[in-house]
Amino acid sequence: MRIGFISGRVVAMLALVAMAGGCASDKSVINNAQQSHSQLEPAILNDAALQAYMDKIGTRIVAEAKEMDARGEGPAAHKKGDAAWMFEDVQFHMVGSDTLNAFTTGGHHVYIYSELFTTAKTEDEFAAVCSHEFAHIYCRHVQAGMNRQYGVYATAAAAAVGGAVIGGSDNRLTGAAAGGAAGLAAGQFLGMGFTRGDEDEADKYGFRFYTHAGWNADHFADFFQQMIDKGYDKTPEIASDHPKLANRVKNTERRIDELKKDQPDYKTWQKPDIASATEFRNLQVRAAKLQKAMPQTKQTQAAELMLAAFPSCVAPVDQPSQAKAKDRIARAAKQQ
């Protein structure tokens, strides 16, 4: 990953957060998410076929979530205010990144990394991750994270006054924006690392969106199991903010058993996949090619840095690429 320039709009975002008084409203989360999106947008794989697929996946998930909201179902945080905004203009983006991750900044944006998409073996695996990410929005986890991390924002705003340099003379983050980015990433980038409870709750509601939207309940945890098989679940749970992947599989199995008991006709909810197995594989190949061909401008380099610095939402601990990005930004912050 190459590191480039982050524009001064980051400073504006930091200022908005610093003035929020430590209480994250829906409006502030939406505004900050949009500011973040302006920085991440250069990494989006702009391809009509891929975006059409993402739109169809997202539409099924959001439609079911809206129905659930109409029934008054959801955690206490979901019921604390008007939730209509959650179902309006929600965008699922495929972003080019060699980090295996997916993330939401809250508001109207969900980011699925191309590495995760090409790693998924089936649409069920992919849809489960997308459902989990939207559940973070539904449960207002970003708002809670911003409140927990207000001290991080204050630090970031102060860091924005200075500058930081990362890498050599040809790879720089310069000026106040660099300082702000360094402060954020050094303290759980944007303060939006989710807790163990958040992740379990997102699995709970993501499972409900996923099953009611027509995907096979028996395969919701398949991506977790694939990651276990790849060796991602070796960290003790006590040393991680996330539940162990093995526990996420067990919790899903319990939810399936409850579903069978409470809704014995649940298999009638299943719908055909949006993409056939062949079409899904073709889309994966397409995404991989587009990611490799993504132009390395200063803007795309900056977007790659931000994507890599987001906390892991699918693994118990950060992957090497994530740790490397955070380390390099933290070292830059120390140079101020």
Q: What is the pLDDT along the chain (336 residues), one digit of tens a residue?
A: 443 334 444 434 443 444 344 457 899 889 988 988 998 999 999 999 999 999 999 999 999 999 999 999 999 999 998 999 999 999 999 999 999 999 998 999 999 999 999 999 999 999 999 999 999 999 999 887 766 554 344 344 334 323 333 344 344 444 434 444 444 444 434 444 678 889 999 999 999 999 999 999 999 999 999 999 999 888 766 656 678 899 999 999 999 999 999 999 999 999 999 999 999 999 999 999 999 999 989 899 888 888 888 888 888 877 888 888 877 667 766 665
Residue 104 pairs in a beta bridge with 110
Phi (first) and psi of residue 270, to 5 degrees: -65, 140
Residue 335 pairs in a beta bridge with none
Q: Are strands 102-106 and 91-95 parallel, antiparallel or unpaired?
A: unpaired
Q: What is the pLDDT of residue 143?
A: 84
- Residue 112 CB neighbours (<10 A): 26
The structural domains of the chain, with segments of one domain joined by +, span: 9-318
Contact 179, 160 (CB under 8 A): yes
Greatest C-alpha distance within the chain:
63
Which residues are CB-neighbours of 59 under 8 A, at least 6 positions away? none
- Residue 44 CB neighbours (<10 A): 20
Contact 187, 308 (CB under 8 A): no
Q: What is the pLDDT of residue 170?
A: 40
Name the residue among 123, 172, 163 with its Cα closest to residue 282.
123
Contact 294, 96 (CB under 8 A): yes
3-state secondary structure (DSSP) of residue 142 = helix
How distant is the alpha carbon of residue 241 from its chain centre? 15
Q: Phi/psi class of residue 273: alpha, beta or left (left: φ > 0; alpha: ψ in -120 to 50)?
A: beta
What distance in Å separates the CA atoms of residue 257 and residue 201, rounded to the nearest whole number? Answer: 17
What distance in Å separates the CA atoms of residue 246 and residue 92, rounded to the nearest whole number? Answer: 27
Q: What is the DSSP letter of 213?
A: T
What distance in Å separates the CA atoms of residue 336 and residue 333, rounded to the nearest whole number? Answer: 6
Q: What is the DSSP letter of 163?
A: -
How distant is the alpha carbon of residue 115 from its chain centre? 13
Angle subtended at Cα 241 by Cα 325 and Cα 335, rounded to the nearest 5 degrees:
30
Phi (first) and psi of residue 237, to 5 degrees: -60, -35
